[in-house]
A = this chain, B = another copy of it.
Amino acid sequence: MSQTSEPLRLGIAGLGTVGAGVLKIVRQKAALLEARSGRSIRVSAVSARNRDKDRGVPLKDYAWEDDPVTLATRDDVDVFIELMGGSDGPAKAAVEAALKAGKDVVTANKALLAHHGQALAELAEANGAVLRFEAAVAGGIPVIKALTEGLAGNEITRVIGVMNGTCNYILTRMEDGGLTYDEAFAEADGLGFLEADPNLDVGGIDAGHKLSLLAAIAFGTQVNFAGVELEGIGKITIEDIRQAADMGYRIKLLGVSRMTGRGLEQSMAPCLVPAGSPLGQLTGGTNMVVIEGDQVGQIVLRGAGAGEGPTASAVMGDVMDVARGLRVSTFGQGAKGLVSATPARATTPAPYYIRTALVDKPGALAKVAAALGEAGVSIHRMRQYDHTNEAAPVLVVTHRTTRAALDEALAAMKALAVVVASPVALRIEEV
C-alpha cells in the first residue's frame, strides 16, 4: 500500500531522551518498521548541542551537523525531526528551513506550534510538505490522530484534557499524601518532573499550548494560544482538595475547549470533576483526553503523557505515517480554511465550588446565602466546617450559573463583614 519502496531518511535535531529514544527504535526495530510501512527507515544525520554526551546509542553511523538548519535541508534527509524545543530560535528556524525545502517535519514542540502553528501550517502547505506533531500533545496517546482522522465524521462539541502530568502528580500527592502544595511541588522537583521554568508546568502554560492545538483541529480554527484562559494550580490548598473530596469531587488542572455562539472557549484552569468519572480517577502523572462528538458521544483516551518511550512512540507514529504515504493537513484541513475564531471567556453556565470562611456569629451563613441568592446564584449544597481561630470554613456547591452571576456573587460576599477569607471559586466541569 506504500507509495514507494525507497528508504525513508530521517534527520534528527535534538538528542535528549526523546531523540535518543527515536534513534533506538529505528535501530532496534528496523525489520518491524519495514514490514509495517513497506520501506526501510533510516537516520541520515543528527544534530544536538553536545556531540560527546553518552546517550546510550552510538552516533557514528550518522552524519553530524552542528547547525540544525543545515541538517534540516540536507539532500539525504526526507523527514526533519525537531526535538529541540522552544517556541522560537533554532527550532523555528530549522522547521521553517525544512518546510521551505519541501521536507516533511515531525515535531514534539508544543510551544512552537502554539505560537506559530498557523504560519507553519501555511508554509507546509505551500511547499507540499506535511507537518505532524502527535508527540506535542499528551505524550504517547495517539490523540491528534484520533481527533484529526478517526473522528473526522463528527462535529466536535467539547475537548477536555488533563495534559500536564506534573500538575496531576502534585495534586494527587496533596490528596493521597496529605502534602501541602509547597511540599508536593518540592517532591515533584526532586523527582525531576518540573521544567526548568516551573511556571510552564504549574502555571498551566505547557498544558495550555497543548489545548490550543487540540482546539484548532477540533473546531477548524487558527491556533490561538493567546486566547486560552490560563490559571495555574499554585492557589490550590490542601483544604480545597479535602473539601472537594468530601463533596465527591477531585481537583484537576483541566483543559476545556468548546465552540459557542459567543466564540471559542479555551480554558486551562483548576476545575472540579466528579471523583467517580474517568477524569476524577486519573492519578499520578498519567494524561487523559476526552473528546466529545455529535455522533460518537464521548471518547476517553488515557496514557503516559511524557517520558522517553511514550514520546518516542508518538514521534514514530508520525514517521510511520510519512513512510506509508499518509499525508494529512497539519490541523486536519487546508490551512487557509482555518477560521480566526473570536476567543470567548468561559461563559457556558457551570456549577461552581466556592470556598470562604466566616466569623462565628449567628446569621453569618444566612448573609452569604442571601448574597448568592441576590446575584441569582442558586445553592446546590452548602457545608460549614468546625471553626478554627474564630473563623469557620464554609463551602458551597452552586447549581449551574453564569460566570457573570458568579463574579457578582463573589464581589457581594467579599463586601460582607462576616466574610473573613476572600472567597475562592473553582468551576465544576460536568463530565
Q: A36-B333, A142-B146 given as contacts; is B302 within 8 A of A278 (CB)?
A: yes
Contact across chains for B324 and A32 when beta carbons are under 8 A apart = no
Task: Say yes or no for A126: interface residue by CB 8 A criterion.
Answer: no
> How far apart are the CA atoms of A296 and B312 in the complex, in Å?
8
* B-chain residues with CB within 8 Å of residue A332 when the two chains form the complex: 36
Q: Does A72 contact B (CB under 8 A)?
A: no
Give 25 A-B contacts (CB < 8 Å), ordered by A residue: A1-B327, A33-B153, A36-B152, A36-B220, A134-B150, A140-B299, A141-B299, A145-B145, A145-B146, A149-B320, A149-B321, A149-B324, A151-B313, A152-B320, A153-B316, A153-B320, A154-B316, A297-B304, A298-B304, A299-B301, A299-B303, A300-B303, A324-B327, A324-B328, A326-B328
* Copies of this chain per assembly: 2
Residues from chain B with Cβ under 8 Å of A141 in the complex = 299
A residues 111-138 in Cβ contact with B at 8 Å: 125, 130, 134
Contact A296 B302 (CB under 8 A): no
Q: Is A349 an interface residue (CB 8 A)?
A: no
Chain B min CB distance to A283 (Å):
10
Tell yes or no: A325 within 8 A of B by CB.
yes
Interface residues on A, range: 35 or more
Bound state CA distance, A312 and B295, in angstroms? 7
Pair B300/A313 contact, Cβ less than 8 Å = no
Contacts from A to B (Cβ < 8 Å): 1, 21, 25, 29, 32-33, 35-38, 125, 130, 134, 140-142, 145-146, 149-155, 220, 276, 278, 281, 293-304, 307, 309-310, 312-317, 319-321, 324-329, 332-334, 337
* Bound: A425/B140 CA distance, A: 36
Q: Which residue of B lies closest to A293 (CB)?
A: B313
Assembly CA distance A294 to B140 (angstroms): 11
- A307: which B residues are within 8 A, CB to CB? 297
What is the bound-complex CA distance between A152 and B317, given in angstroms? 6
Check A310/B327 contact, CB under 8 A, given A155-B29, A316-B152: no
Residues of B within 8 A of A326 (CB): 149, 326-328
C-alpha gap A408/B142 in the complex (Å): 44
Please report the C-alpha to C-alpha distance between residue A29 and residue B152 in the assembled complex, in whole angstroms: 11
Question: Which of B29, B149, B312 interacts with A145 by CB under 8 Å?
Answer: B149
For A142, list chain B residues within 8 Å (CB).
145-146, 149-151, 299
**Among B150, B220, B281, contact of A281 (Cβ-Cβ < 8 Å):** B281
Partner among B278, B299, B313 whose Cβ is within 8 Å of the Cβ of A296:
B313
Q: Which of B155, B300, B314, B317 contacts A32 (CB 8 A)?
A: B155
Report Cα–Cα, A299/B134, bound state, in Å.
14
Q: Which residue of B lies closest to A300 (CB)?
A: B302
Give every chain B residue within 8 A of A1 (Cβ-Cβ).
Answer: 125, 130, 327-329, 334
Taking CB atoms, residues of chain B closer than 8 Å to A155 are 29, 32
Residue of B nearest to A327 (CB): B1
B35 engages A220 (CB within 8 Å)? yes
Q: Which of B295, B297, B300, B312 contacts A25 (CB 8 A)?
A: B295
A150 in contact with B296 (CB, 8 Å): no
Give the complex CA separation of A314 and B309 in angstroms.
29
Q: A153 is contacted by which of B29, B130, B296 (Cβ under 8 Å)?
A: B29
